Structure 1
């Protein structure tokens, strides 16, 4: 079974026996959104949950994405 942390492209590499030439934290997912938001002054909230716990990771990421989405919505931008 393919390693899910590598995504679709990584699974294809594994299926064909090719080495994966990137590090897992270099994959862009929520990190892309955070990088874009940080460029506008956003700072992610301090984590109050366990790291590397699937459910708590998902809840934290949902919180961060919701904050970024709200911050970049029309209502927020109108108040700036």
Structure 2
């Protein structure tokens, strides 16, 4: 088993797999050493994603978020071209073919898979490598774990980093309690 893991978080304008992606946060880490190895924020150009979707409900939700201007400001016209982001992600994932791929829930990787397949005709990971942070967190909480990391603030990189730190805390909790 590889000791390099990848955590991703994305911010979108829809909840469908075809959503416009505003940001992708990606963090490489070692779980055994509880160490961040590398991190990146990819703000994507929204205007160049004319073939992807946005929903009224998601946009209404964004209107209520205190950091909407920050998230949207990075992406509206100055973000990375979608095909460059897709090639960058394919490169990152290809370097880590045996890595465990984490996200909080089952939203990020199906959407990223759709995005990557559209732009590069490939999805560079095996379905069995994907891990769900939300399920692990609920299980750990049922065993007495209480996270001390901040709630998501909807900046993809900060959220991915928070999720990695929560995973480190869960690993430490199960190490101390003998996995019970």
Q: Which has the higher strand share?
A: 2
Aligned residue pair count: 61
In structure 2, the residue matched to 1:65 is: 167
TM superposition shift of 1:8? 3.1
Structure 1 moving runs of 4+ over 4 Å: none
Match of 1:72, SS state, is: helix
Aligned to 1:45: 148
The verdict on how the C-alpha distance between 1:71 and 1:58 changes in structure 2, with shifts beyond 3 A counting, is: same
| Inter-partner Cα distance in structure 2 for 1:6 and 1:52 | 13
Q: Counterparts in 2 of 1:25-44, with a 5 A limit?
A: 29-44=132-147
Q: TM-score, normalised by structure 2?
A: 0.28
Structure 1 residues 6 and 77, CA gap change in structure 2 (3 angstroms): closer
CA-atom RMSD in angstroms: 3.4
Residue in 2 that maps onto 1:24: none
**Unpaired stretches in structure 2, ≥5 consecutive residues:** 1-16, 22-106, 119-130
- The answer on whether the counterparts of 2:153 and 2:159 sit within 8 Å (CA) in structure 1 is yes
Aligned twin of 1:77? 177
- Of structures 1 and 2, the one scoring higher in RCO (CA 8 A, sep 6+) is 2
Corresponding residue number in structure 1 for 2:47: none
Q: TM-score scaled by structure 1?
A: 0.56
Which sections of structure 1, spanning at least 5 residues, go unmatched? 16-27
